[in-house]
Amino acid sequence: MRQGDLGQVLAIERRSHATPWSESMFVSELGRRDGIALIAVDGGRPVGYVMVARQVEVWHVLNVAVHPDRRGEGIGESLMTTLFDIGDRRDHRGYTLEVRVSNATAIRLYRRLGFEDHGIRPRYYSDNGEDALIMWRLGHPAEA
């Protein structure tokens, strides 16, 4: 992802999240030296994205979204497996994320990708006070 993609990424963000990130939040994450920002593109237009920050020895998945009209096509899974291909090139303890407890589709995907439940963050989401499920996927040492 590059700053030039942000207009289209923000359109997906606003349609995907009750409390969408601002443009400045995306710009800040894109400026990280140790982060990963990926977009899925179809016909020259972004159809999904994932934003990840490395925090010490852990990759923290901060934001994932797929355009509502393109959900169910495997785009989210493809973004995540590409993330693993890139992230696993470096030693790390794993990947972590929070997901709304009501987001059964995302939870199924994350479990299929090897994430496991590791607790609840009560009232994590500010828009409605919904709990977040904390999930972890164990890391793999980078290959020499």
The amino acid at 142 = A
Q: What does the alpha-carbon distance between residue 81 and residue 28 come to, in Å, rounded to a whole number?
A: 24
Looking at 13, 29, 95, 110, which residue is catalytic? 110
Q: What does the alpha-carbon distance between residue 28 and residue 21 come to, in Å, rounded to a whole number?
A: 11
Q: Under a CB-based contact definition with an 8 Å cutoff, are residues 111 and 88 in contact?
A: no
Looking at 29, 98, 124, 125, which residue is catalytic? 98
| 110 included as an active-site residue | yes
| 98 included as an active-site residue | yes
The residue assigned the tokens 């299929």 is 112
Q: What is the set of active-site residues? A: 98, 110
